[in-house]
Amino acid sequence: MDRAMATRQAAETLALALWAAAGARPVRAIEALASLVVNRAKLAAADAAARLRFAPGAEAAAWPHLLGPVCRAPFLFGCQPAGRAVPEGDPALAICRRIAARAVAGSLPDPTEGATHWHDAGELPGWALGQMPVAETGGLVFYRLPADPAARPQRRAETCAT
């Protein structure tokens, strides 16, 4: 697959993940979630241990090419039901595609201050207890958890907002 096709595929994968997880949320929340995916992809590109954590099974690559594996990683976006029809012409999907294109281009500012984890503000998963949020927007709460697995809580460190 050529570089342009891989970039388009990464943007579409990110857009669909954003749409499924946060398409009904405000634009700022979708942008924050896209930034979180970029943060994980950048960490995965820079370090083999982070790649195993955030993009399991992916080979070393530049961060834009790790967006797809990050989106497909367990527990980040577990709310994409199989067989869910993609509504062409859906305004929310169009917004998610524009945000994903900006993220892939590297032109999306990060309002999450480097966050790597998130949850819906209406929930408090066990892994978030005792953790300090770095941002909250559009009903989503963002965290930057320690990179050292020994320093992380001994609970599942990812969740899916529904």
Residue 57 confidence (pLDDT) above 80? yes
In this structure, which amino acid lies at residue 84?
R
141, β-bridge pairs: 119, 136
The pLDDT value recorded for residue 158 is: 42
What global pTM score does this model have? 0.84
More confident residue, 150 or 15: 15
- Give me the mean pLDDT over the 118-141 stretch: 95
More confident residue, 28 or 152: 28
- Give me the mean pLDDT over the 65-91 stretch: 77
At 142 the three-state DSSP class reads: strand
Residue 148 confidence (pLDDT) above 70? no
74 to 41, 56, 79, 87: CA distances (angstroms): 14, 9, 10, 24
- Give me the mean pLDDT over the 64-73 stretch: 89
- Give me the mean pLDDT over the 107-125 stretch: 95
Residue 110 confidence (pLDDT) above 50? yes
Residue 80 confidence (pLDDT) above 50? yes
More confident residue, 149 or 55: 55
Residue 151's pLDDT band, with cuts at 50, 70 and 90, is: very low
Q: For residue 23, what is the DSSP state?
A: T
- Give me the mean pLDDT over the 156-161 stretch: 41
At 38 the three-state DSSP class reads: helix
